[in-house]
Amino acid sequence: MINVQIVLKEGMLHKCSATGHAGFAKKGKDIVCASVTILLRTSIETFAKNDLLELQTKSFGRGDLFFCVWTKDASKEAQIILKYMADFLQNGFQRLCTEYPKCVSLDILAEV
């Protein structure tokens, strides 16, 4: 099972991690793993290309990815991006949890 954790700060995306393997199909053929990977990598690439955001990523190997993102300043544009991406990732992972409940779990936490 892939365990996904999204951490929000003031309604904005702050951290996201995914660990584990879906086990839906064999390596290289697993559509659930591919879906999780696409959601996370697209988010990371989007953040990396934005000059308003700071990004830190870590991966300890296959089946393990973490990122933390925050605004370089308190610009409204950066906050909008982080709120939108929080919704985007929540919707994407909730959909995967609904369709593949034995393969993906999701925890959403609010950081104070």
Q: Tens digit of pLDDT for each residue in 41-71? A: 999 999 999 999 999 999 988 889 999 999 9
| Predicted pLDDT at 102 | 97
Superfamily per CATH, domain 2-111: Cysteine protease Prp (3.30.70.1490)
Give CA 56 to chain center in angstroms.
Answer: 13
| Portion of the chain with pLDDT greater than 70, in percent | 100
| Predicted pLDDT at 112 | 78
Q: Tens digit of pLDDT for each residue in 20-32? A: 999 999 988 999 9
Domain ranges of the chain: 2-111
Q: What is the mean pLDDT of the chain?
A: 95
Ranges of beta strands (E only) in the chain are: 2-9, 12-20, 53-61, 64-71, 104-111
